[in-house]
Amino acid sequence: MPGLHLILLILEFSNSLCFVFDDALPQYATYGESMVLVGGNLADNNTEIYDTIVQMAGGRGVAKIGLIHASSADPLDSANFYHDIFVNKYGAAEANFIPIDTNHTSANRDPNVIRLIRRQTGFFFGGGDQYRVTQSLLLADGSASPALVAIMEMKKKGAVISGSSAGTTCQTNRVMIRGGVSWDALKYGAYETESSTHPDNLVYQGIGGIGLFHNYVIDTHFSQRGREGRIIRLLWDTRKHSLGSNYAFGVDENTALVVTHDGTSQGTGKVIGAAGVTLFDISSSIQTSARYFSIRDVYLSYLTYGDQINLQTRAITFSPTKTRMAGHEMYSKALTSHDIFYGGGLNSGKKPEFVRVATSVYDSIHERVTYGTTHESNPTFKVTMSAVGHDSEGWVERKHSFHSDIISYKNLYVSISEQ
């Protein structure tokens, strides 16, 4: 009876849909798969970011946050600190220490730990060393441990994945950056192993991170530590790697990229917090002849508060609080720098050097091209920035001065050469 067989298949399919729907956490209907990726130095009083994590985990009095501090040298102490913040300050119902770290890797397959993971409605990965996270949650062959599989399953059900600093960097399913300084990265390139004689080398992990955030390399403490050069070199050197990517996000300190409906065509990243998030695109880049390193046709977009990006198409929507800068520039000329990768720290009251120079191109009446050079020499690297063509535009929410203006841009052309 083919008709009856068809009816049974339809009923079976319908029941499976109901199972998925019933199995999802309540917040899934609003946010889908979600993440809150913080760039480090998260202030205790950053109410918006903490409230966002708690809300996306089910809300005050409901959220159960699994605290994963495998990256820390003292995981329990770090977990106690964040337990106090999430429960006593921001109203989570629970904040539970997930006891997996490099000294307790057997816990990544402990049934009791896995049951604890499945009770959570969200997770927070603390800062430290992202390599420790992968050592704790990946098996020796690079595959996901049972605990990580459980976390992945909870993400699919709507449990928010949040993290700060190393807790953000480790999330990628692409090559994972481990350390390095921009000038050294540009001069010497990327390595998979650390060097005791060259501690500032650009080092990455070829097997990737823990795989919860797809298609983008991630870096943190970004503009405040002048990490633009190192991420460009990492993308370029690993572009043909099986886990390489043409795209990366650099998340600034005390700032978050809030991801909703991850893995769908509606997947969106929205910027909240104190500074910005830089998108790097080397899909059209070309390496040119040089003794050490030279590259052109790199495109950058810098998103600040309220801006959004479609994670699949990379289409950018600027915040409605901002206006287009073209025709409303405030200064005669663009700025330059002789220490282009100097960060300056979040609390300096000034924009980091790269951000300062890049955003000035859009606020200049007479110039659309500028440059910055490295403080270091032998060689001195020159970073040229152009806002001419390529659908490049700047948007701003004016405040009291250039350094307090909230400026965003898209499709800034960048080249790096040796002087």
The token pair at 345 is: 């720290």
Would you say the C-alpha torsion 170, 174, 179, 183 has a positive or negative sign? negative
Q: Which residues, including other chains, have CB under 8 Å from residue 284's CB and lie 6 or more apart?
A: 297, 299
Q: Which of 214, 207, 192, 130 is nearest to 165 (CA)?
A: 130
The token pair at 339 is: 């220490």
Q: Which of 145, 221, 245, 285 is catalytic?
A: 221
Would you say the C-alpha torsion 206, 212, 218, 224 has a positive or negative sign? negative
Q: Rounded to the nearest 10 degrees, how much is the dihedral formed by the CA atoms of 188, 192, 195, 198? A: 20
Would you say the C-alpha torsion 341, 345, 348, 350 has a positive or negative sign? positive
The Cα 264–Cα 279 span in angstroms is 19
| Beta bridge mates, 317 | 308
The Cα 33–Cα 9 span in angstroms is 28
The Cα 398–Cα 349 span in angstroms is 16
Phi–psi pair at 27, nearest 5 degrees: -70, -15
Phi–psi pair at 305, nearest 5 degrees: -50, 125
| Beta bridge mates, 281 | 247, 299
386 catalytic per annotation: no
69 catalytic per annotation: no
The Cα 54–Cα 74 span in angstroms is 24
H/E run at residue 297: strand 295-303
Q: Which of 78, 129, 136, 184 is catalytic?
A: 184
- Number of CB atoms found within 10 A of residue 338's CB: 12
Q: Which of 164, 165, 245, 301 is catalytic?
A: 165
For residue 246, how far is the Cα from the chain centroid? 15
101 catalytic per annotation: no
In terms of DSSP bridges, do strands 308-310 and 316-317 run parallel, antiparallel, or are they unpaired? Answer: antiparallel
CB 300 within 8 Å of CB 358: yes
CB 226 within 8 Å of CB 342: yes
Which residues are annotated as catalytic?
Answer: 165, 184, 221
